Chain A
């Protein structure tokens, strides 16, 4: 617990370091927060910081886990999970259409020139063959954002007039250029443009909101920008209440319920309930019917949300060496490579924050596995259609675990387990996380072995998935995975059968509940009657 408090304290200090935090007196927490008029005590601040951090983590996880972010997709879009997608911003020259997301891998970066006024991620930032480009960018953003010398990375307090989030495109408002910004004013009202130079020499100016809209010039965007949700961050505000509201607003926009906060209850009385599948597929339709579902629109918006959340999250996570480990969940016997890890070994003393941190890491990891399985299952001919994508996805599973994800002590152990499973499947993994089977690359192996090769890799993928479920704590749900007759995996309950009787079981429990309620009422009556006689 102390670890968590310490981490939250540091996070708080980072927030308070921002100039805008001195504005707490000018921007007191609202009545909605229940603290209006109060000077926040350190405890309250800690609480806010912890809650804020938790919320950010949750939203980030939600977006990633539910594949809302579209951080990469297969097929027409070659971008991979974990890569930054070069996305054309809404600042399109007249008559030009949005080309949609484009991979910023080496080829993508070279293929598309930098176009002033468009959202892009600098090729300088996204290095060639960079499967971890997103992380790279996030870290850079965090670095700059966390630099107190840089004005602009501030969290807005007053959100009231920015309900559109710069996304819905108030065409009637000439100042709102979010939907159709002009060349002269690439940033929309409420937008923030985080810029960093490609030469890496010193911090770049960060332009925010209407200031950016009014003062920015196209050449300022030449070196690559990330545009994030506008109202989330404003130059002049950085207090915790504003941050909290900002995050809440993001959650509302994405209709995300928190597991333990009331903000998301508009969706469902049960926080955290997953939106229906059709809602997931068209999230913005649910979020704001006014948002035109133009081609590329949703993914642009969602990517912006992820960038925003990532940037803030990373800011909060900018902790000195050692602190990160302290705030991370303690994991017994970590680093042993033992396959005996499972969710039950989460230490009992872990606080919610620790669990959340753990889940965040696992969720990112799981995203790769999800994608891998998706690739393997979506096509009857994965060799021809998805060879490269499958290879990339498998790398995506292993490389983050070994090299890039934080808190290696957890993921290294998981990677060790998966590696062991891979070996049992006849698959070897080198130091770079690349696979080789019978001395061949995965692609060549698949090509040479045909269906047998596919079967081996599928088996491996299913093992990965099984392991992921285990690490994610699916055991507590009584679920596990087996192959069904078609060779695809299916969720089974603990006794190994596809659980079609869950509803019956619940009805049975509800009947029992009725009986219990009747007995309780009768017992209370008796108790009252007896008490009267005494």
Chain B
């Protein structure tokens, strides 16, 4: 009666067709490169949707393991999100500094640097 995430076999996904949902998760977590990590999670989405729709039930132990992995996934995603936000902010500052550039007053205003410095100090 019970099915599990592990029993969800995936087909039609190139040479990874036999990797099930959990394997996609494990494989993603093993990936150190954050962009690859994200790509693998995007691929995992195909199965996540099906799992949610079909309402599979898994054993307590499996659920515990899956929960642990999911928490790890979530932590990495949140960390990357924070990093991207910082990067966007810095990029915005840079864009403003470039726009502020004039031959007449070529040095960008002070506050760009103050903000950068404060961020650096905080980090």
Binding site for B on A (CB under 8 A): 58, 61-62, 65-67, 257, 259-260, 270-274, 277, 343, 346, 348, 350-352, 355-356, 359, 363, 366, 369-370, 373-374, 377-378, 465, 468-469, 472-474, 476-479, 481, 488-491, 493, 499, 502-503, 505-506, 509-510, 512-513, 515-517, 519-520, 522-527, 529-531, 533-534
Contacts and interface: CB of A to CB of B under 8 A. Distances in A.
For the side of the interface on B, what is the size category?
A: 35 or more
Given A506-B92, A526-B48, A531 B67 contact: yes
A203 B91 CA distance: 52
24 contacts: A67-B105, A259-B115, A259-B118, A352-B121, A355-B114, A359-B114, A472-B107, A474-B113, A477-B108, A479-B94, A488-B103, A502-B91, A502-B98, A503-B95, A506-B88, A506-B91, A509-B84, A513-B84, A519-B42, A522-B48, A525-B52, A526-B48, A526-B70, A534-B67
Contacts of A489: 103, 106
Contact of A524 (B74, B116, B120): B74
Contact of A259 (B41, B67, B114): B114
Contacts of A257: 111
Q: Which 6 interchain pairs have the tightest Cβ spacing? A: A272-B111, A530-B67, A65-B110, A491-B101, A533-B63, A377-B103
Contacts of A533: 57-58, 60, 63
Given A67-B105, A465-B107, A534-B60, A476 B120 contact: yes
Nearest to A462: B106
Nearest to A524: B74
Interface string B32-69: 00000010011001001000100001101001101100
Contacts of A468: 107
Given A377-B104, A519-B41, A479 B109 contact: no
Contact of A530 (B42, B70, B120): B70
A355 B121 contact: yes
B64 to A, nearest CB: 6
Interface in B1-45: 38, 41-42, 45
A516 B70 contact: no
Interface of B: 38, 41-42, 45, 48, 52, 57-58, 60, 63-64, 66-67, 70-71, 73-74, 77-78, 80-81, 84-85, 87-88, 90-98, 100-118, 120-121
B118 A477 contact: no
Contacts of A472: 107-108, 110, 113
A479 B90 CA distance: 12
Contacts of A369: 107
A271 to B, nearest CB: 8
A345 to B, nearest CB: 12
Contacts of A524: 74
B97 A479 contact: yes
A519 B35 CA distance: 13
A472 B117 CA distance: 10
B106 A523 contact: no
Contacts of B60: 533-534
A283 B69 CA distance: 56
A534 B81 contact: no
A272 B112 CA distance: 8
B97 A515 contact: no
Given A474-B108, A509-B88, A527-B67, A356 B94 contact: no
Contact of A465 (B74, B88, B106, B115): B106
B48 to A, nearest CB: 6
A519 B38 contact: yes
B52 A523 contact: no
A373 B106 contact: yes
Nearest to B104: A374
Contacts of A370: 105-107
A534 B48 contact: no
A520 B110 contact: no
Nearest to A355: B117
A527 B74 contact: yes
A515 B42 contact: yes
B21 to A, nearest CB: 10
B91 A505 contact: yes
B96 A534 contact: no
Contact of A490 (B41, B66, B87, B101): B101
A66 B42 CA distance: 47
Nearest to A67: B105
Contacts of B57: 533
A505 B95 CA distance: 10
Contact of A62 (B64, B96, B111): B111
B87 to A, nearest CB: 6
Contacts of A506: 88, 91-92, 95
Given A472-B107, A473-B116, A490-B101, A509 B91 contact: yes
A58 B81 CA distance: 31
Given A374-B105, A476-B113, 17 more contacts: A58-B114, A61-B110, A66-B109, A273-B96, A274-B109, A343-B113, A356-B114, A373-B104, A378-B103, A465-B107, A474-B113, A477-B116, A491-B101, A502-B94, A522-B45, A534-B63, A534-B67
Contact of B70 (A477, A481, A523): A523
Contacts of A481: 106
A260 B64 CA distance: 43
A157 B93 CA distance: 36
Given A274-B100, A520-B78, A526-B48, A510 B88 contact: yes
A301 B112 CA distance: 25
A516 B80 contact: yes
